[in-house]
Amino acid sequence: MLTLPSDQAVDAAVGRLRVSLAAPGLAEAVAAYFAEPDFAGITFSALGRNPADEITADDLLAVALLDITWRPRVVRLLLERRRAEFSALLAAVPGDVDLWDATDDDLKQVDVLWDALTAVDGIGTASATKLLARKRPRLCPISDSVVIKAVDVPGRTWDVLRGLLEDPAARAEVEALRPPAAASVSLLRILDVALWVSHSRSSAAQSVRRETGLRES
């Protein structure tokens, strides 16, 4: 049986993230992400149609901006063959709840949708989490390989992010990183960008860090 890390490990990770959010140059790096035309920036959230309880072609295109490739059979499955099924699963997930206010029942509904998505051959952790973040930007944080590495508590990434944002002071620190160009995006999106520019080893993230003086966490 898999044993998940303790609450003490979660609390320690929350503390590490709080320190990283105060890193010199982070606000400038987040601003650069939303200003640089080669990044997804605001387009991930704002592109095309994004109805609350329907997966659209615009959603898949927006997620593709975050380095996701959709197989043709997966596109047809999401947009055609199982469209009604996934719409029903989406409808059960609240769209007006923030992660830090979410109940365990709210998150159980996310788990049901998550399990259905990741059961599809061709939908992995990264594509599922980014699609959920597009459809429920206030509730579902991106938890791809970069975020999982940044949190460094295997199996409890969402617990750490939820624990961090339950603190109003931590939310204020994330909010302070928001540039004017990102006025319309969720707080979770600001946090995701902050983690990406701090922890990604991609050449693009390294370039942003060099330009803004941000040290890799």
Q: Domain residues of the chain, as ranges?
A: 7-212
Rounded percentage of the chain residues whose pLDDT exceeds 70:
98
Taking Cα atoms as reference points, which of 194, 74, 86 lies closest to residue 142? 194
Q: What confidence tens digit (pLDDT) does each residue in 157-179 have?
A: 999 999 999 999 999 999 999 99
The rounded distance, in Å, linking the Cα atoms of 106 and 89 is 12
Residue 101: phi, psi to the nearest 5?
-100, -5
| Per-chain mean pLDDT for the chain | 95
The predicted model gives 56-74 an average pLDDT of 98
Burial 163-191 (b: 16+ CB within 10 A, else e): bbbeeeebbebbeebbbeebeebbbbbbb
The predicted model gives 89-116 an average pLDDT of 97
The rounded distance, in Å, linking the Cα atoms of 20 and 35 is 22
For position 16, what pLDDT does the model report? 95
For position 165, what pLDDT does the model report? 98
Using CA atoms, how far residue 93 sits from 17, 110, 134, in Å, is 27, 6, 13
The predicted model gives 118-138 an average pLDDT of 97
Tell me how crowded residue 11 is: count the other CB atoms within 10 A of its CB: 12
Q: What confidence tens digit (pLDDT) does each residue in 30-44 have?
A: 999 999 899 999 999
